[in-house]
Each structure stands twice: as C-alpha cells, then as structure tokens.
Homo-oligomer: A and B are copies of this chain.
Amino acid sequence: MTIPKQSNRRKELVSIAARLFKDTSFDRTTVRMLASATGLKSGSLFHHFKDKEEILVAVIEGGLKKSIETIKRETAKVDQPNLRLLASIYGHLETLHGENKDAHIVSITEWKSLSEDSKDHLIKLRDEYEAYWQKIVDDAITANLLTGDPHLNRLFILGALNWSIQWFKPEQGLSIKQLAYNFYQSLTHQSID
C-alpha cells in the first residue's frame, strides 16, 4: 500500500517533483525522470504516491498553502490600504520568483492537468487565496487607489502578476521589491512616500 501521509521523505520528493514540473511541464516529465532526480527507481515512486497525478496534487497543494501563508504574513505588517496592496503584490511576486517558487508556478501553469476530482479538492485553497486578494482590492478601490469593477480589477491584477513568470528574471537587475513597486505605481498612478 501507499499513503504514509505527511512524512519528511514525501515532502522531499514533492519538492524535487515541483522543480521538474516547472522546468519540463507535468506531461513531459516522466516517472523515470522523477525517479532519477530523486535517486529512486521508477517503481519505488508508487510506494509514496498512488499515481503520477497524486504527485502533482501534492505539489500544487503545497504551492497554494505557501501563497496563502505568504500574503497573510506580508499584509499583517501594515494596515493602510495602499501599503496592504503593495504588500500583496510583493508577496505574490515573492512566491513566484523567490525561494521555493517552483510549487507556486506549477500551481498556476499545470492547473489544467488536474483531474476534475483533484480540482474539487484544491479549489477551496485557491478560492481562499483569491478571496483574501479580493478584500485587498476592494479596500484599495474604496481608498481611491484603484477604479472600476472590483472583481475585474482583481482578475486584471492577478493576471498581470501571474504573467510575470513568462518574462521576469530576478537575476537580470530588477529586484522583486522593485518590480512590485513598479507594479504598484502603474496600477494606482501613485507613489508611496
């Protein structure tokens, strides 16, 4: 049988899988590639996971939980709407481009590789994250930092942020903090003194 639940070894394997899924995509990552990256033989993977998709689910679940944790941590530091918006932007970009970015990127790029059942399970986490964001955006609109429909604003902002995985390379000069601030300015047309 499988299912040791939350062992350390499992987390290790999931973290390595996240890297491969990010670099090669879920479909093109074979169980033999996963095995060789983890130092296992291909069959041994199925002692820890019942099938390949369960690995993806574990990766995405970890990515989403980390995102929620990060945005809560970052926004807890401040209480003005403008600073909270900036902190959310920074937190989101941090999970996408900082340490341990792999899982969050995979949770974005490989969502459609999930089965319907897996989506049902993970969608609650995603909803929680988006609901948290929605409040940040709502407050920013109330404070006249943003304008227009609240729901669409959230979708615009998260879309633009997520798309940064296609082009942003932190090692090319611009830091994550700087990127976040640029983002904030373009969105709000304002500075923070």
Contacts and interface: CB of A to CB of B under 8 A. Distances in A.
Interface of A: 25, 27-28, 112, 146-149, 152-153, 155-164, 166-167, 179, 182-183, 185-187, 189
Contact of A163 (B28, B162, B187): B162
B148 A159 contact: no
B156 A183 contact: yes
Given A25-B27, A27-B25, A167 B186 contact: no
Contact of A152 (B28, B162, B186): B186
13 contacts: A27-B27, A27-B28, A148-B186, A149-B186, A152-B179, A152-B183, A152-B186, A153-B186, A155-B167, A156-B160, A157-B160, A160-B163, A163-B163
Given A159-B159, A159-B166, A160-B163, A185 B28 contact: no
Contacts of A157: 160
Contacts of A164: 155, 159
A156 B159 CA distance: 9
Contacts of A162: 159, 163
A163 B167 contact: no
A182 B27 contact: no
Contact of A112 (B25, B153, B185, B189): B25
A175 to B, nearest CB: 13
Contact of A159 (B27, B163, B182): B163
Contacts of A25: 27, 112
Contacts of A185: 147-148
